[in-house]
Amino acid sequence: MKYLTFSGNDILNARLPAGSNILYAPAAVPGIAKRDVPAAVVRAFEQPLGMEPLSELVDASSKILIAFDDNCQPFPSTPKPDPRQQSLEALIPLLYSYGVKKENLRLICAVALHRKMKKFEMAAMVGPKIMAEFYPDQLTNYDAEDPEDIADLGETDQGEPVRICKGVVDSDLVIYVDTVQLPLNGGHKSVAVGLGTYDSIANHHHPKMTEDSPHVMQPAGSHMHDCIERVSRVVQKHAKIMVMEAVMNNAAYPSHLSYLGKPPSRCNFVERGLKAVTPGAMRLVPEGIRRKMLKSVPGPYDPIEINAGSIDAVHARTLELLKGQLTVPAPREYNTLVFGLPDISPYSIDARINPVLVVSDVLGYVYNWFYGKPFVREGGVVIILNPTFEVFHEEYHVAYKKFYEEVLPVTSDPFEMREQFQEQFARDEHLIECYRHRWAHHGFHPFTVWYWATYALKHLSRVILVGPPDDKAAKRLGVGWAPSLDHALGQARELTGGDDVVAPTIPPFFYVGTG
C-alpha cells in the first residue's frame, strides 16, 4: 500500500503493510471570500456574542489595546492580504467612527515567548496602511521580559502566579483579533498566554499537565487549558476583553497542488497521475531547491465564520465549527503511527525545522490531534519520517541549539529537564537578550514544546526516526532509529505483535475522532 507523504522537503511514496489505514482530511469547507471579509468583521463587532456591541463599549476617552497573534498561525502562511490585515483595516475605522482617538490606540503582536516578528514580517501581516499609521510607536511586538510593561495580578485560587502585559490592565478595552486554525488556539489562551510572562506560562506549560492526559490540542479534558482558563479568569477581573475569532478552513494547498492531500477516490485522472510521478520528480531536484519550492507555497485559507464578543461565547462557537470541519473518524486505536513530517512548524517560520521540533511537533502536535481517545494505543509505536538535519537558525533557535547541546545529552525526560535546567535557561541573561533584541525564541520555549510530548514519551513503547543517514540525531533526542521504513515497521511488529498501522496525510490539518 502506497502512502504519499513528506519527509522534510521531499515527497515520498512510502510502502505500508496491506490493510493500513491512510487518513485524509475532509474537503475544505468553503470560506468567506476575501472581498467580503471586511464587512464580516464589522458585522461581528456590531452583533457580538455574549456582550454589548462595540459601539456601547467605547467612546472618545477610551484607551484601546488591540492584540493579535504572530505568524505562527495560520501556517503555512496565507496569500495577501492576511486576515489580520483585513480585520485591522475594518476594525480601526470602526473605532474612529465611535469617537476613539488614534493616540489612544495601541497595537501589539502577542508573541508571548515566541520570537518577535521582524519589520518585514509585521508588514506582510498587517499591510502597508496599518504600518504607515502606527509602526513603530503604536505597533510593536510584546516583550514578556520588559519589567516596565508587566503587571502582577496575584495568583489563581490554586496559587498560580498571574503576570500579564501592563497594557492589558491599563486599557479600557482589550480587543484580541485572532485567526484560529486548531482548537489549541483562541479562547482563554489568547490574552492569558499571548500577553503572559514566563512566570505565568510556566504554570500550564508544565509536564505534569500532560503526564496522564494527552489533551493538549483542545480545551475539553485538558489540564493545561484548565490552568490557562484559571489564569485568564484572574486577568478578566482586571480588564474588559473582547475577542474576534476568524475560524479558518483547512485549505492548505492551492488548487494545482491539492492532490497532495486528497485520497485517490477524490482525485481526477490527472491528479492520480501526479501522485504517481511527483516522488520521482522530486528526487531529481536538489534539496535546497525543493526547500525553496515548498516554502514558497501559501495556504489559501479563508475564514468560514467571523465572530466577536466574550471569550466564552465566541470560542464555544469556534470549537463547534472546527470540530465540524476537522473530524476524520477512525474505528479504533492503532498499534503503530507512521507520519511523514514536512519541513514546516509554527516555530520554524522563515527557518528550517530543527531536530527538537521534529520530535516535539509529531509527539506534541500530530499525536494529540484527536477527539475522544488517542488514535495510537498505550504501548504503541510512532515512526517519524524526516531527515532531521542537525541545523539551528542562528537568530531564531539560539535556545533550541543550547537545549539540544546541553539538556538532551543529559536527559530527555520532561520532569528531569524541568528540575535540572528550566530555571537556568529561563533566567539566562544571554538568552533573554536574544529574545528581547535578537529575534530569538525565549530560553524557556524549547522546554514548552518538549513538555507537550510528555504523555507520548511516557505511554509509547518506542519512537523511531527514519530519514537520517545514521542514529546520531536519534540518540541525542532519546528516540530509536531505523535505516528504512521497512526496518522501522519490523521493529514495531516485534513490539506490538502485528501490522496495525495508521498513517495521517497532513497537511491539510485534521483531528482523528476515536471512540
This model's pTM is above 0.85: yes
Query: What pLDDT sits at residue 95?
Result: 98
Give the range of the structural domain holding residue 267, as residue numbers without chain letter.
255-295
Torsion angle defined by CA atoms of residues 262, 266, 271 and 273, in that order, rounded to the nearest 10 degrees: 100
Which long-range contacts does 478-486 make (Cβ < 8 Å, 24+ apart)? 478/408, 478/411, 478/412, 479/359, 479/384, 479/412, 482/383, 485/14, 485/15, 485/338, 485/383, 485/385, 486/15
Would you state the torsion angle of the CA atoms of residues 413, 417, 72, 11, taken in this order, to the nearest 10 degrees? -40
53: left (phi over 0), alpha (psi -120 to 50) or beta: beta
Distance CA 452, CA 364 (A): 5
Asked whether residue 267 is assigned to any structural domain, the reply reads: yes
d(CA 202, CA 3): 39
Burial class (CB in 10 A: 0-12, 13-18, 19+), 498: exposed
Domain count, the chain: 1
**Nearest-angstrom CA–CA distance, 265 and 74:** 28
Antiparallel, parallel or unpaired: β 150-155 and 161-165: antiparallel
Is the separation of the CB atoms in 90 and 121 below 8 Å?
no
Q: Which three cell numbers stand for residue 376?
A: 495510537
What is the residue-wise DSSP string for 81-120? SPHHHHHHHHHHHHHHHTT--GGGEEEEE--TTSPPPPHH
Tell me the C-alpha distance between 317 and 315, whole Å. 5
DSSP string spanning 217-236?
SSSTT-HHHHHHHHHHHHHH
Half-sphere exposure for 501 (CA within 13 Å, toward CB): 26
Other Cβ atoms less than 10 A from the Cβ of 151: the count is 18
274 occurs within a structural domain: yes
Per-residue cell: 435: 529574545
Q: Which residues on adjacent β-strands are paired with residue 246?
A: 179, 306
Report d(CA 494, CA 221) in Å as an integer: 33
Task: Assess if residue 302 is contained within a domain.
Answer: no
Distance CA(369)–CA(183), nearest Å, equals 9
Residue 468 lies inside a defined structural domain of this protein:
no
Q: What is the pLDDT of residue 391?
A: 96
* Alpha carbons 68 and 141: distance in angstroms, whole number: 10
Task: Confirm whether 262 is domain-assigned.
Answer: yes
Is 286 within a domain? yes
3-state helix, strand and coil shares in percent for the chain, rounded to the nearest 5 = 40, 20, 35
pLDDT at 515: 63
Low-confidence ranges of the chain (pLDDT < 70): 515
One-letter amino acid at 499 equals: D
Q: In terms of Cα–Cα distance, which of 439, 355, 453 is closest to 403?
A: 355
In a domain, 284, yes or no: yes
**430 assigned to some structural domain:** no
Helix (H) or strand (E) holding 312: helix 311-326
